[in-house]
Structure 1
């Protein structure tokens, strides 16, 4: 859809848009119309119609609640308009999908909404009982022919590891088959491993490994021809991976939060002086270091930005 209009009671629509843009960046084609606490159906209808008249092209209206005033007004005015679709049951997950995948069907959006309603505690317990990494790799017991031929589609530094940008945007846009989280602390923490398994897309395999083991596995060809997404928590882990022989030609810096003494390089990246030194060492090894929050954002020369 060329336009998406979020409609809701109160501030929900605007709140979803704000949350969306935290994950995928600013979206000029996302619009909101709210039924104000002091408003009524007439106020809402006037504002929705005014908004729709200003838009060109196909439009998807996403309402907060089936049977609520915003949804009812949209149906009354646009039920028989050919290039307008209307769905109810707004969630952040379906809005993200509608934004990043403009070819997605209404049926697929509704299916995604159902899939994203999860009993997290039950899922965590199940994840903790998953079979070991060694058993997961049984299918690739003879992997020597793939040694040195790893198919790495992206290498990213993201302090939050697996979250919306990684799971919902980067991984899917790159047709990732396996996410490899390389971090010693995460690999040693059963709770964190279970949490990462819950956050990863169900269609993708996940390995949470100590940094050196991740390098060894990739070098040995353990994952065959799988499209690999390497995920690091910080630049120190990246350097450790490289020094262990891990094959990295480029690294994308996504999110590094503020710490005492850090300076801002981009809005989402705050770097300590010690980390600047690590980045310089990584770059000196011939690795191209860029910054890019989501695939649609322009690619920034991170080292140039860091040194400016």
Structure 2
């Protein structure tokens, strides 16, 4: 079963890996990212960040549909991580029954159309558009680095004033 969907531009890193996998008793982490699949150094680095008792698997976006659908029904506790909102939108198209998304870090460059939500999350115009679509589908968008933090919810009101 998928326990958590997470957006993090760093994908997987120490504190996050330890805290989320421990909190949800995660068995497997799926990193869905087209760039990582052909980058052995990045895969090696990401494997160093994962807890020893957790399996780390990498998938490209075009090959993840079957894996994600199977993950809904299996007994393993799974965490799915993507790098950005565009990828998460594709995941939600596959898994519309998922109603909560965790946002860890999106450190986009700030421009005139950016929305700075905190020091870890900066949304660009494209991210904001996807957030609105997800919120209109009833998806809870919550910002937390680790489970012990108080969640910061994203709502339509704070997104509507950004042009």
Q: After TM superposition, is the score higher than 0.5?
A: yes
Max Rg structure: 1
| Inter-partner Cα distance in structure 2 for 1:283 and 1:213 | 26
1:1-308 alignment runs, 5 A limit: 151-221=1-71, 224-245=74-95, 247-261=97-111, 262-304=114-156, 306-307=158-159
Using the alignment, how far apart are the partners of 1:172 and 1:207 within structure 2?
18
Greater RCO (Cα-Cα under 8 Å, separation 6 or more):
2
Determine the C-alpha separation between the residues in 1 that align with 2:73 and 2:28.
9
Moved over 4 A (4+): none
Local SS of the residue matching 2:64:
helix
| CA separation of 1:260 and 1:226: change in aligned 2, threshold 3 A | same
8 Å CA contact retained: 2:36, 2:58: yes
Greater helix content: 1
Once the two structures are superposed, what CA deviation does each residue of 1:278-303 show, in whole Å capped at 9, x if it has no partner?
11122223321111222121122212
- Normalising by structure 1, we get a TM-score of 0.47
Following superposition, the deviation at residue 221 of structure 1 comes to 4.6
The 3 A distance-change label for structure 1 pair 251 and 195 is same
Distance of aligned partners of 1:245 and 1:222 in 2 relative to their CA distance in 1, 3 Å threshold? closer
Query: Over aligned residues, Cα RMSD in angstroms?
Result: 2.1
Contact 1:162 1:196 in 2 (8 A): yes
